[in-house]
Amino acid sequence: MGPQTGERSKAVDTPNLQQGKQGLRRLMNDVGAWFPRNSEREAVTTEIRLDASPEAVWKALRFYEEIPNRPGPFLSALLPLPVRSEGEKTKVGASIRCVYQGGHLVKRITVSEPARLLRFDVLEQNLGIENSVTMGEGSYEIRPREGGTDVLLTTHYIGHLRPRFLFRPVERMLAHHVHRHILEGMRTLLRTETATVSEAHSLVRLAPAGGGPRSPAA
Residue 56 pLDDT exceeds 90: yes
The confidence score (pLDDT) of residue 45 equals 98
Give residue 57's pLDDT band: very low, low, confident or very high (50, 70, 90).
Answer: very high
Which residues on adjacent β-strands are paired with residue 34?
A: none
Domains of the chain: 43-197 (3.30.530.20)
Q: At a CB cut-off of 8 Å and minimum separation 6, what does 37 contact?
A: 160
Give residue 75's pLDDT band: very low, low, confident or very high (50, 70, 90).
Answer: confident
**% of the chain exceeding 70 in pLDDT:** 73
pLDDT tens digits along 126-171: 998 899 999 999 999 999 999 999 999 999 999 999 999 999 999 9
The confidence score (pLDDT) of residue 198 equals 44
Residue 86 pLDDT exceeds 60: yes
Give residue 8's pLDDT band: very low, low, confident or very high (50, 70, 90).
Answer: very low
pLDDT tens digits along 164-215: 999 999 999 989 988 998 898 899 889 887 665 444 444 455 555 555 555 5
Give residue 37's pLDDT band: very low, low, confident or very high (50, 70, 90).
Answer: confident
The confidence score (pLDDT) of residue 202 equals 46
The confidence score (pLDDT) of residue 61 equals 85
Task: Decide: helix, strand or coil at residue 165.
Answer: helix
The confidence score (pLDDT) of residue 200 equals 42
The confidence score (pLDDT) of residue 36 equals 85
- Give the predicted TM-score (pTM) of the model: 0.77
Q: Report the alpha-carbon distance of residue 106 to residue 95 in Å, rounded.
A: 7
Omega of the bond prior to 68 within 30 degrees of 0, cis? no
Q: In what order do the strands lie in the sheet with 82-86?
A: 41-50, 148-159, 133-145, 117-126, 103-113, 95-100, 82-86
Q: What's the mean per-residue pLDDT of the chain?
A: 80
